[in-house]
Structure formats: C-alpha cells, structure tokens
Amino acid sequence: MNHQRRIWLTGASSGIGLALAEQLAEQGHRVALTARRREPLLALAERYPDQLLVVTADLTDVHAVREAAERIDAAWGGLDWAVLNAGTCEYMELPHFSAALLERVMRVNVLGTANCIEAALPLLRRSSAPRLAAVGSSVTYLPLPRAEAYGASKAAVRYLMQSLELDLADEGVAVTLISPGFVDTPLTANNDFAMPMRVSAEDAARRIVRGLERGQREIRFPGRFISVLRLIAALPAGLRVALTRRRRKSEITAQQEAN
C-alpha cells in the first residue's frame, strides 16, 4: 500500500461489508464504518481504535446521512474513497405482486445509495485521487424469477453509477461499479434456492479491494458465473425465458420433494 486512505464504508456490520472493513483496516487505512447496528461496528473498532470511526445511520434518512458525512469531515477533512455497500433483498412471491415490497427494496438500495452519494461527493472532491464505488449485482445481467424488486433496484444502481462516471470524469472523481455473484452472507443465508459458484465474504472482499486498488471501472466476480449469465442473456428472448423458467420450476419441484 502506498498511502493511508480515508474511506467511508456503508453496510459494514456484516457480510461483505464487515469483511471489507477488516481487510481495509488490516492494510492500514482509516475507515468510517456506517450501518444501522452499532454493536458489530464497535466490536471491530476496538481492534483498530486509531483507524476506525463508527458512524451509525439509517441511510434512507437523508438528515442522518448528512450528519454522518459531517462527522467524517470533522474527523478527517475529506474522503479518498466512498464504498457504498449497504443493501437489502426481498423476493416477490407472485401471484401477489407487492408494491410495498418494491418500495422497501428501492428505498434502501437506490435512495440510500443516492443519499450517500450526495453526502460523499463534497468530501471526495477534496482528495487528490477520489473514487466513488457502489455495490450493484450480477442479477442485472439476466432477469431472474422472483427478483423483480431486487433486480430493478440493482439495475437502477448500475445506470446511476455508469451515468455518474460520465458526469464526474471532468472533475477527476473515478467511479466503480461492483457486480458480485452469490456471496455467502447472512442475507443470502435466507435464500431458498441453489446459489451456484458462491464465494465467501472474505473472498469477495479481497476481489473488491484488489479491483479498487487497480482502478477498475467494474469489479465483477466470479468470472465463470458472470460469463454464464451473460451468455444466457444473449440468447434469443424465447430461449432465455424458457431456460430461466425451467430452472425455477426444477427448484420448486425439489423443494416440494424435500418437504
């Protein structure tokens, strides 16, 4: 590592975020940890008291996010990286389509991310090498059953970050989109379907840190899984739909047999 960075990391209390926090702290960076739950952040901060700043906030509350950024500004006078990792997932269970479910997911994954971008950009603009990163998802490569809300929210994050890359280029603010496949986290532990080529949170964090250090425009992994998704997505629409529907039907059959 060439120098110590000032990093704002959201969604830092578990899963990929916690693994990222540990690895970044181990590398000697100063990291502002944000999540709604304070206890896991304090436990990690006790191990790195001189590097970690605990800043709890509900990211859907724009005033709380602004206050979090003000605390970071007061402590460090700016940011070098903002890594917006916080997110949630709920699956749609048709035939009942729930607009309320869609709103909940969009509020966290899109509005929460937007609130952080608004608060982080003034701090990033003071850095000599600023980078804004956000976690999207590989689901944006291929529509999947039950993922209406989650997929739509992550597609919005993809478009948001790719558009920001164009508008922030003249200011020298680099933008990175992170598109993971299945990662073993408390959130994915609730999934009731097969998760092929799943990686550990620690492995995901290593790939993300490496990609950020290399200045990658998009960090996507695991490569073979992404290739399969993109290959299926490139098929004629009728064949693509048939394949994804068939996979869902086989999962339902397997669940019924297991019960």
DSSP letters, 106-128, are: HIIIIIHHHHHHHHHHHHHTTSS
Is the pLDDT reported for residue 90 higher than 50? Answer: yes
> For the chain, which residues make up each domain, given as ranges?
6-232
Which residues have C-beta within 8 Å of that of residue 61, sequence separation ≥ 6?
115
What does the angle CA 78 – CA 79 – CA 80 come to, to the nearest 5 degrees? 135
How high is the pLDDT of residue 211? 98
CB-hemisphere CA count at 13 Å for 26?
10
Is the pLDDT reported for residue 254 higher than 50? Answer: no
For residue range 49-75, what is the model confidence (pLDDT) as tens digits? Answer: 999 999 999 999 999 999 999 999 999
Architecture label for domain 6-232: 3-Layer(aba) Sandwich (3.40)
Is 141 a catalytic site residue? Answer: no
Out of 48, 141, 150, 159, the active site residue is 150
Which residues have C-beta within 8 Å of that of residue 237, sequence separation ≥ 6?
none
For residue range 184-234, what is the model confidence (pLDDT) as tens digits? Answer: 888 887 787 778 889 999 999 999 999 999 999 999 999 999 999 999 999
Residue among 73, 78, 69, 24 at smallest CA distance from 51: 24
Strand positions, DSSP E, 48-165: 52-54, 81-84, 131-135
How high is the pLDDT of residue 193? 79
- Evaluate whether 219 touches 212 at the Cβ level (below 8 Å): yes
Compute the Cα dihedral for 240, 242, 247, 252 and give only its sign: positive
Longest dimension (CA), the chain: 58
Q: What percent of the chain has pLDDT over 90?
A: 86
How high is the pLDDT of residue 2? 52
Element (H, E) at 152: helix 148-168
Query: Looking at residue 146, what DSSP letter applies?
Result: T
Measured from the Cβ of residue 102, the count of other Cβ atoms closer than 10 Å reads 17
**113/19 Cα distance (integer angstroms):** 20
Question: Quick one: tokens of 206?
Answer: 């290593």
Average pLDDT, the chain: 93
What's the average model confidence in pLDDT over 112-119? 98
**Which is more confident, 43 or 258?**
43
Residue among 64, 72, 85, 73 at smallest CA distance from 21: 85
